Amino acid sequence: MEWVAEPTTAGAWLRERLDDDLGVVPHGFPAYARVFHPARVRSLPGRAVPDMDEWVRLSDAEQQRLMAQFDDREITWADTASAFGTRMHPLAQWQRIVRTPEGAGWQVRIAPDGREFTSPDEGAMAPSHLAALSSILIAHTRTPDAGYAAVWEGWGDIVGALKSASSRAYLISDDPNHQAMLDQSIHDRFNNPFAKPTWHSGILSDEISQGARLELPGRRHVLFSAAPSRFGDPDWILDAPWRDRAGEPRGFPPRAEHPSLLWPEDRAWVMVSEIDFDSTVVAGSADLIAAICADDRLEALPIPDGADLSWTGDEVNA
């Protein structure tokens, strides 16, 4: 995988097929599939899950015993809907699937049977799920070993940036004494909280951080040349230039952010993992979409071009 210093040429065709107001899925393909990111469910037989105040009062042995009872696993949206008495369908939205009351949190919900459901990841699938999807994608392109991967620039510390210790918003105060302190601190060259921003390097090199972006409606991405076939292996992270190595010396496993966009050089399809979506959309041929929806490693349903995947798009479970 190599950085593309001039991304406009490679990605211009996408921009032409996107709506102006945060369009994320390009129009004009024969068919589309929505791949639902798995949620998680856990249960604690015989008793409710302890809250934090109760948990910290338990001994280490009691905590380990309770943790051993947790059934913590992936679960599909369809099984979640069954647990909450709602209906699974192509435009389903998580907060409505789990019957979230107005103004309540939707990330963790308790079903009528007592199980705790945690919402799917947004903008990313586990490497094993991306590998399963990629194994289907690469069978439906003439260029499985040539293509592009775009990574959203906003993931934490992936690119370098100018950063300051404070904000000018704090320069005005209604308290005369406080204002005098602020006025003095502005001119204090030894202790200036409003100093000029300085450059902080990111995971990617300064050259890449300061380079051109793939500009799409509401999103800016760093573009890399990447063989779609590489993502058929869960270990693709090891080759990613945006791999975050900071935690590895301390024993953490290798990690890299999920690509936001992936497409082959022949443009037979495009995979879109929008950072705010808890599902991934694939646009391509009718045969590709049928294969994705038929694969039992994935939970996927066909959707129309231009489908409303916003929170208000689920009118079935409204």
How far apart CA 194 and CA 188 sit, in angstroms, is 10
> What does the alpha-carbon distance between residue 98 and residue 139 come to, in Å, rounded to a whole number?
35
Give the helix/strand (H/E) hosting 117: strand 116-118
Output the average pLDDT for the chain. Answer: 84
Q: Which helix (H) or strand (E) holds 16?
A: helix 7-16
Residue range 130-166, pLDDT digits in tens: 999 999 999 999 999 999 999 998 888 888 776 665 4
Matching residue, tokens 């950072």: 275
- Three-state secondary structure call for residue 75: strand
270-299 pLDDT per residue, tens:
999 998 899 999 999 999 999 999 999 999
Predicted structure pTM score:
0.80
